[in-house]
Amino acid sequence: MRADARRNRERVLEVACDVFAAEGLSVPVAEIARRAGVGTGTVSRHFPTKEDLLRAIILDRIERIVDQARALESLGDPGTAFYRFLAVMVEETAANRGLTEAFAGAGFDMEAASSGASDDVMGVLRDLLAAAQRAGAVRPDVEVADVKALIMGCLARERGDGDTAARLRMITVVSAGLRPDPAR
């Protein structure tokens, strides 16, 4: 691979990561190219479709989240692991509008793009939830899709990363709601 090609590829990736995080997935590819100082042809040669570009950026972020989840999994108390993962996932995603939209399923099919074991967020969430429920730390009737939707709720709190206190409050409320009756 030629040196300038590699450089351009890196540059596009970096710019795309920032722009999608700040302004969401609907930013035109041509705009990414413009800000990276390259032509649209250069972008679409390295990443034939917009989805390819998104995959390269988003799956990287998701892998980091999954890593943290796996680390929490081996933490001893399944309840603590589950609830801490809720907070981690919300915090990691809140500052990234593109990632939020990806989770919401807007313009990017995460399930289809995730093929490896290292990017299966739903899988790891399912494991954490099941363990926490076995330990009696989460209401037994709650399903993975419920938890995902509640996380989406926390992310819907507002665009951007401004209000950390509000996010914390949301997580507190949701966590309290998920706990079975006795344990408060």
In the complex, the smallest distance separating the C-beta of residue 20 from DNA, rounded to whole angstroms, is: 11
Determine if 4 is a binding residue for DNA (CB under 7 A): yes
Q: Residue 78 CB, nearest distance to DNA (Å)?
A: 42
* The binder of DNA chosen from 39, 105, 162, 177 (CB under 7 A): 39
Which residue from 18, 51, 63, 161 is in contact with DNA, where contact means CB under 7 A?
51
126 binds a second copy (CB under 8 A): no
Is 5 a binding residue for DNA by CB under 7 A? The answer is: yes
Distance of closest approach, residue 156 Cβ to DNA, in angstroms: 23
Q: Does 104 bind DNA (CB under 7 A)?
A: no
Judged by CB, which is closer to DNA: 4, or 141? 4
Asked if 75 interacts with a second copy (CB under 8 A), we say no
CA distances to 20, 25, 106, 129, 142 from 31, rounded to whole Å, are 11, 12, 19, 40, 42
Closest listed residue to residue 160, CA positions, set 98, 77, 78: 98
Question: Which residues are near DNA by CB under 7 A?
Answer: 1-5, 8-9, 26, 28-30, 37-42, 44-46, 48-51
